[in-house]
Structure 1
Amino acid sequence: MISFNGHVVLMVLLLITQCKGGLLVEKCHLRITNDLGRGSNPTLHRKSRDDDLGEHTLPYRGYFKFAFRPNFAGTTLYYCSFKWKGGFHYFDIYIELTHRDICGSSCWWVVRPNGPCLRDSQTRQYDMCEKWHN
């Protein structure tokens, strides 16, 4: 009879929770570009269900990017708020069940006054636009 010690069992559990379909879950790369207009340097605040990832100033035409591994349960959610002169808005920048199929491992967004637009990986155009949540 084979005996497992606690460390081996823990290691196997960690590997299982980081795998999907037998492979390591691929990192997802998110990029957000400011297209709110000249002089608009919003404060971008990123959050997930579990973590507050902080605030960053996003200059006009500048971008911010980050990467993460979606969770095993398929429930990864990131949202961003934007605060600038004349506005405060937010949207869901990554919903696993929606965005994984649309943009794969690279979700590129451009933020405009009317709302965020996601880049279509086929046409390379930012034409999949959403309205702000508020």
Structure 2
Amino acid sequence: MCGSSSFHMIFSVIFMCLLFGGLCEHISVDIINDIGPNVQLGLHCKSKNKDLGSQSLTFHQHYGFRESLNFWGTTLFFCHFQWGNQSKWFDIFVVARDLKTCEGHPCVWSIRPSGPCRLTGKETCFPWNTNQY
């Protein structure tokens, strides 16, 4: 009887992980203001289902978040960035692009005027998204 109970408990945990995906796997994102000295960086990150709110970072200050991945492998977080008269946005976490590189480590992003650079793994810079925010 005890063995059967243990099996059901393990099966239930596995089923919950598969059903709700996010209960078992998370991603961590760390964003650094590298726009320039004395430049305040405003940012607002969200996904389709979750708004992480607005933040304001001084030069070299960090903001991070940890969120669940969905079961379907389509987790996407995007951020809107503002400084001076600039307004840009970028998909800060895309499963297909970032999961393998950032698995087990925070996905660290340096936000620069030319675009965001992912520092995790081999440093890789990306252009800003061009379509409307």
Q: TM-score range by the shorter chain?
A: 0.7 to 0.9
1:71-128 deviation per Cα after TM superposition (whole angstroms, max 9, x unaligned): 011010000011111200010000112210122142100000100000142x5xxx20
Q: Would you say how many aligned residue pairs link Structure 1 and Structure 2?
A: 118
| Mapped partners of 1:101, 1:56: distance in 2 | 27
Equivalent in the alignment of 1:129: 125
Higher helix proportion: 2
| Mapped partners of 1:16, 1:120: distance in 2 | 27
What TM-score results when the alignment is normalised by the length of structure 2?
A: 0.79
| Mapped partners of 1:129, 1:41: distance in 2 | 21
| Mapped partners of 1:99, 1:50: distance in 2 | 19
Equivalent in the alignment of 2:18: 16
- Compared CA separation, residues 128 and 15, structure 1 to 2 (3 A): closer
Deviation at 1:39, TM superposition (A): 1.6
| Mapped partners of 1:74, 1:29: distance in 2 | 15
Secondary structure of the 2:107 match is strand
- Root-mean-square deviation (CA, aligned residues, Å) is 2.2
Equivalent in the alignment of 2:114: 114
Equivalent in the alignment of 2:9: none
Q: Which runs of 5+ in 2 are unaligned?
A: 1-11
Would you say 1:74 and 2:70 are equivalent positions? no
Deviation at 1:19, TM superposition (A): 4.2
What TM-score results when the alignment is normalised by the length of structure 1?
A: 0.78
| Mapped partners of 2:65, 2:43: distance in 1 | 13
